[in-house]
Amino acid sequence: MAFTIPLRVFSIVGDCPLIFPPPRSSFRNQTRRIKQHIQRYGSTEQRMREILQEDLNERKQSGTYKAERIIDSKQSAVITVKGRDKPLLNFCANNYLGLSSDTSVIQAGIDALKLYGAGLSSVRFICGTQTIHRELEEKIARFHSREAAILYPSCFDANGGLFEALLSDQDAIFSDQLNHASIIDGIRLCK
What is the rounded average pLDDT for all residues in the chain?
Answer: 79
Task: Output DSSP code: residue 39.
Answer: H
- Is the pLDDT at 45 greater than 80? The verdict is no
Q: What is the DSSP string of 49-87?
A: HHHHHHHHHHHHHHT---PPP-B-S-SSSEE-BTT-SS-
Does the pTM surpass 0.75? The reply is: no
In tens, the pLDDT along 95-126 reads: 878 888 899 999 999 999 999 998 888 888 88
